[in-house]
Each structure stands twice: as C-alpha cells, then as structure tokens.
A = this chain, B = another copy of it.
C-alpha cells in the first residue's frame, strides 16, 4: 500500500544512500523513544476527543509499547526510508488494525520538532551533571591548596602572587556560571511544539496545554509557526555550550603552559601521559591538546549551526531542522568528551608547590606592594612610588639580585634621586617580597587571601547544591510525566481513564 497518492516511484538510490537511510538510522537510535512518547500522548488525545474507543486505544498503546529500533528499518519501497511511515506501518501490521482516525489532523512537522526538543532536553540534563561534577572537582582541588604561593601571570609575565586555590576557584566560578545559565536556558526552551501541526495550527480541539504537561514540558510554545519553523532554541543551547568551551579552553591553555617545559608546576599520572616513539626522554600530555581541540570543535559547531540557519526561509525545513541540527548533536558529543577528559585530568593532577614557590621567589612579584608601602608609609606620591619601585627592580636585575636578597641602600638611593627619603628601606623590601605574606596581603572580597577564597568556595558549594537540586527536579519531572502517560493508557479502557472532563466530541 502506498503512503501517498501524490507521487509515484520510490526514492532513488543516491537519495536513499546519502540522506534517507543515514537519517533513518540516526532517528531510530536517538529519537525513537521520544517519538513513541509523543505517539502515546497523541493517542490519549484521540481518546479524549472520542475518536477511538477504549479497546482501539488499548490495542494501539500495546503496539506502540513494543516499538524498538530493531523492529523498523529504512526501506525505500515500504516506507520511503522515513521513520514516521515505518512506525505507522509497524503499528498497522499488528493483530488489530489501528482505528480509522489514527493520525487524523496530524503532521510530521510538530512531531519531529517535538522529538528533537525532547532529545535536546535529555542531552542538556546529562551535560549539566557533567558540568556540576567538573565544577565540584575544581572546587575540591582548590580547597587542598589555600596557602601555597604560585605566580599569577598576565601577558605571559609573572604578575602577582596567587594560590592554586584562587586559580582553581576561578575555574569553578566559570563552571558554576555556565551551569546556571544552562538551567535558565533549559527552562526557557522547555515549551512543547506539539499541536502546531504543519505550521498553521490544527483543526481539531487538541489540548496543547495537556499534551505539553504529559510530555513533561513547562508549557506549550505559544505560536504554531514558531513551533515548527524556529530552531532558536538550538541556537540558545549551542551558544551556552560554546561559551563554556571557550572558558575551558583558556584554563586548559594554562595547564599546558604549567605542565610544560619552563614551568613544571603541574604533573599528571602516567596513565594520562603520552610517550614519543622516538625520543625516550619525552613525557607528553596530549590529553590537554585533545581537550582544547574539542573545545574548539564545540565553538565551531555553534558557528556552523548559526550559519546553517542563517538566510533560510522562516519555515519548517530539513535544512534547518536536520542539516543544521546535526551540529547541535556533534556539539553535545564534543563537549561531553572534553568535560570527561578535563574532569579526569583535573582530578588526577599533581600541583608541584615547590616549583611554584621557587618561581615566586625568582621574580619581583612584591613590587606592587613595595610601591603601596612607599606611598602609604613614606608619603611618596603613587606615580613616583611606581617609578622608584620599577627602577629598583631594574637595578636589582642588572646587579644580579633577587627578591630574596633585598638591597635597602639601593632602594634608599633610588628614592633619594626622586626626592624622597625612605626610612627602613630593607624592612620595606622584605615585607614586600615575602611570598607567604603576599598571599595574605590582599584583603578585598574575592581576592587570593585564603579566607576570601574559602568564602567563595562555600558560596560555590551552595550554588552547586542548589543546581543539583534543580536538575533533580527536572529529571524527576521527565520521569513522572512518562509514568503518568503510561498510567493513563493503562487505565484507558476502565472508567478511571475516561473521566468526564477528559473526553469531548469533535466537530471540525
């Protein structure tokens, strides 16, 4: 039996091989369970509208329940290699024929949009868990090293004394922020396209609100055309993933630098190390290159998604929903892989506090403090204090001195040249250039001071707890909705399923 009276023939071999069969394969694997859920909800609506009797509905529910990827396959002749027709055929071949009105007033357009969105929601929930896990690991590792001095860098030069705790809590902060945005985005896109029909809405009195609820959505998408034509929700999600990937790539860049020759601040276990096939001394960490490469891919997927939608008609199209849509799936996979690698890497890293301290002491990180003290204690105007401190550093380097070997008279002499007397210059220098003191000299909220970091970590943990709870609610909501549908279907041939308020007579 044909599925259409409009055209003859079957999809050509090229068309089937390049497009239809691979598309079918993807949908059978990733979307089928969602498609079945939607069919069940539609069935409940047909029952509510009185278009099927209890027995017919129960029979069809049973047939839907057993629908697995193994039972259907792309076949140009039988189902035009289209999963929707394959599902229809499969159901129709059950012991009981479907009721006549099955699929009346229905369209693939909102059906597919709905399936894609359900799948996206599922992917987001899984990703959110990864994000929270990464953030918590960063915070946990941070908590291990609150006092240990390490150099902070700007423009590739040592800038100020910070701590691993301070640095890692910034990673946690970015991760927490990303996880929060993702939750907001989830809630915003959580609107059911079902009932939009092909584009213009539907002719029968479908209850879009009820269908949305039964599928676990927050509400229906208000506009029928938006429901099927728009994939702004995909762009919104892709942006969040991309933006976090950028941040992650930046932290990864630092880990590359710090685990590389020239620093050696961070080490990773042999199980994550690569060797050279030729250079026996090498111990590489290609895992970091993999993370950064995948982050780049995540950004690229968002770019591709946006450009693949750009300039297309505002209409339901495979160009937007399927060709462009593939980039969102690729993006989820790439970011989840990067997160898994980053998590392992972070969890097993060793921070070489000895080398970090040594690097702190090999530079003049306290020069800012020195300038502060010159102003606050010796009354030197700030800009002049900067000049004096800079000149001191320059002279010290030229003279082979280090931060650990302060030269009070040199400082005094330089200050004098600029017209200022500095009492106890040696004491000023040693107060300025002590690494442990440097960690605690910052006092502002959010600073590298161990107490300030502790406050941030505590607030972050509150954030993670809150987020984890919110995601649990959403996981739960999805489960509860599915269970309710099954319960309603189970009750469909009993009085319970057919409450007065839930059936209606239909006159188109």
Contacts and interface: CB of A to CB of B under 8 A. Distances in A.
Interface in A1-27: 1-12, 14-15, 18-19
B314 A304 contact: no
Contacts of A275: 3-4, 6-7, 80, 390
Contact of A181 (B97, B188, B201, B283): B188
A44 to B, nearest CB: 16
B9 A314 contact: no
B368 A278 contact: yes
A340 to B, nearest CB: 6
Interface string A376-411: 100111110111111111100000000000000000
A125 interface: no
A471 interface: no
B271 A5 contact: no
Q: How large is the interface on A (under 10, 10 to 19, 20 to 34, 35 or more residues)?
A: 35 or more
Given A85-B277, A340-B18, A446 B152 contact: no
B310 A159 contact: no
Interface in A307-348: 307-319, 322-324, 326-327, 337, 340-341, 344
Interface string A186-213: 0010000001111111111110110000
Contact of A293 (B104, B156, B322): B322
Nearest to A403: B281
A87 B54 CA distance: 64
Given A157-B284, A201-B443, A364-B281, A4 B390 contact: yes
Contact of A445 (B4, B208, B442): B208
Interface string A164-201: 00110111011001100100100010000001111111
Contacts of A199: 152, 154, 159-160, 162
B313 A261 contact: no
A292 B183 CA distance: 31
| List of 5 A-B pairs having minimum Cβ-Cβ separation, nearest first | A201-B447, A293-B323, A156-B260, A5-B391, A5-B390
